Amino acid sequence: MNNTDLSTLAIIVGLALVTVLTRSFFFISSKSWQLPHWAQRGLQYAPIAALSAVVVPEIVTVQGVFVTTWQDARLFAAVAGAGCYFWRRDVLVTILGGMAVYLPLHLGLGW
């Protein structure tokens, strides 16, 4: 084993130990633990914030550069998907509506 392999192995083991330690804090304590009210309220917004952080850059950028043309199938599909969601409040309808717009534009017109 060369030095790089040992350092990589040490990093993996260290990260695994840190992960196990931080996740086991909730099991080590014998008494009940409550989050403060402000933290519970903040965690209500975490899923939508995480989803936005992943989806929005994928829609408005191409390889890290903002889309400069309106002829991008993702833009129209995002609008159609949002419209389907507000119309039916159903995730499956949202996906199907967005893909129904995206696929013809992307495959048919090459956008």
pLDDT digit string (tens) for 75-110? Answer: 999 999 999 999 999 999 999 999 999 999 999 988
Beta pairing partners, 66: 61
Q: 3-class SS at 61?
A: strand
What single letter denotes the amino acid at residue 23? R
pLDDT digit string (tens) for 13-36? Answer: 999 999 998 888 777 777 777 888
Q: Are 56 and 76 in contact (CB under 8 A)?
A: no
